[in-house]
Amino acid sequence: MTTDIGQWLGHLIGQVEGVQHRGRHARRQRLDVAPDALPALLELLQGKGSFVHLSAISCVDWPEDGQFELVYHVWSYELKTLVSAHIRIPREPGRYLSVYDIYKPAAFFERDIHEMYGVFFEGSPSMEKFILTEWDGPPPMRKEFDSENWVNDHFDWQDYHPDWLNDIESRGGGIAIRPDEQRFSRKAKHES
């Protein structure tokens, strides 16, 4: 079954240039696509291949390559196969085309990627913030954003010296590892 779909898919994507096909798991097919070819491929998959369900768009940050990887997971209710189309776009300026006109659910995922990674999708119906409306820091899901540092700069930790603990400590007991010593990052910060 899988090989049939593999062959069929290979035939289908032969019509689009710049597509590599790999299938490793049951009912999962991976396509590596050139960024320019993706809208045409998705249109083909939806129109001829019955892949009508856009399950998700995932974004992966690869700072060492200076790239964002966008993964479009589409599912066919008839072929019962999930195709993941991978593209890589440069991290700067981080712009890509919206696929909203092919798949409506893309609006949510593109909006989400925009606020979490700062990738701008041209043609998406709304690029305004949804979750992080009251956040003015950098896009938090980028690898260079260190949330632990941000937390240490903006929040205080509860201090623990309740009276009942003093009693226990005077009798030789107490907390073995205090919470502030467990937070390695804080410890390193204090030492430096």
Partner 1 sequence: MTSLSDIPVIQTPPEAPARGGNPLANVFDDFIRYCRSRSLFMLHYCTGCGAIELPPAMTSRFDMERIGIQPMVTPRQADILLVTGYVSVKTLKRIILTYEQMASPKYVIGICSCTVNGGMYWQSYATAKKLNDYLPVDLYIAGCMPRPEAVIEGLKALRDNIEAGTSDNWKDYYQRYDHYLGNQQRLFGADWQTPTEVIAEAKHYGLFGPDTLGEHTRRLEDHRKPLEPLRMTLNAGRLEHME
Partner 2 sequence: MRAENYQSRAQPPSHEYELNFGPNHPGIEGNYALKVRLHGDTVIDAKADGGYLHRGFEKLMEQRLWIQNIALVPRICVPDPAPMELAYSMAVETLCGLEVPARAQWLRVLQMELSRVAAHLFTFGGHAATTGMYSTMFWGVADRDLILDLFEELTGGRVYHIYNLPGGVRRDVPDGFLDRVSATLDYLESRLADYDNLFFTNQVFITRARGIGPMSQQQALELGVTGPNLRATGLAFDVRRDDPYLVYDQIEFDIPTETAGDAWARTLVRRAELKESIRILRQVVARLPGIPGPIRAPIPNPLAWNVPAGEYYSRVESSKGELAWYVVSTGGAKPWRTHIRGPSAMHAVQVLETLVQGCRLEDVAQIMFSLDACPPEVDR
The interface with partner 1 within residues 133-152 (CB under 8 A) comprises 133-137, 140, 145, 147-148, 150-151
Are 54 and 72 in contact, with CB atoms under 8 Å apart? yes
Q: 92 is in the binding site of which of partner 2, partner 1, none (Cβ under 5 to 8 A by kind)?
A: none
Q: Dihedral, CA atoms, 103, 105, 106, 109, nearest 10 degrees?
A: -160
Shortest distance in whole angstroms from residue 112 CB to partner 2? 8
Contacts of 166 (CB under 8 A, 6+ apart): none
Are 67 and 91 in contact, with CB atoms under 8 Å apart? yes
Contact between 27 and partner 2 per CB under 8 A: yes
The interface with partner 1 within residues 103-132 (CB under 8 A) comprises 125-126
Are 93 and 40 in contact, with CB atoms under 8 Å apart? no
Beta strands 81-90 and 19-22, pairing class: unpaired
Binding residues for partner 2, rule: CB under 8 A, are 25, 27-28, 52-56, 58-61, 71, 73, 77, 80, 82, 84, 103-105, 107-108, 112, 116, 130-134, 140-141, 145, 147-148
| Residues contributing to the site for partner 1 (CB under 8 A) | 125-126, 133-137, 140, 145, 147-148, 150-151, 154-159, 161-163, 179, 183
